[in-house]
Structure 1
């Protein structure tokens, strides 16, 4: 007769620990999806190309300063380990841009990066040199940048490819 019932906070349905775990998993999934959206929405465009001169007076290597703009249309900032790219004028491969390492792209904004292109004229045939000179004389270059960015994602490094064409006025 003197027995008392033990009161319990668990009254059936989901145990509290399971409900908490489900909420944590849901929030983690939302974060992962938002970050993935930010990473996959990164775009790369050329902003400007400036002739910087020769490496030395007797060199056939021309140096150009190239401004690349990386845009993040996502909701979260993205850290990029490196950006590697080739630059093309029409169908002529001009060369590799010097890689850019360790930069951040804030959410919903753009980051401008300066890098260098070293164009070795002796590696080009006469037709390619004529096309380059003609484009430079016009003062307008239709350039294509093609490459990839390495972005850390949890324990992985994601390789995000890009390919974009820009008209750059000199």
Structure 2
């Protein structure tokens, strides 16, 4: 007995096989793309997490400095992680003891015109080098109550010449 298949059925089988093959390739390409994107996102999360830890380190440094009346920790200075040319002790002391005014030059005469801008990379109070990260720390506002000083502080950690960074803004209160 011979089995004859019409020509158009063989054509449909070929087309069906080709379509299934194309769909299989599409699934493989999509899976490869998802794996690649997952790896990229994982790398971004890792770099952000590291930058965030550097920002938190800057937060601890400025809190310690505030609690020591504007004096940087001797061990930190000895480590060489502070950029001395960016540190203005007189400006920092004025920010710790005098409230913010409409013009920074009124109450903070030792500071530059950028003293009260919120961008910590413009005239920061302290710059640290922590591993690959440059950490810029800046007090952007000082308020005084009858019982305390309240500081608004911005900290930014960034690998130089890289757009990825972490920035923390927080309030810190010191009782008089």
Q: Which structure: larger Rg?
A: 2
Indicate the structure with greater strand content.
1
* Interval containing the TM-score (normalised by the shorter chain): 0.3 to 0.5
- Which structure has greater helix proportion? 2
TM-score (norm 1): 0.37
Give the TM-score normalised by the residue count of structure 2: 0.36
Higher relative contact order (CA 8 A, sep 6+): 1
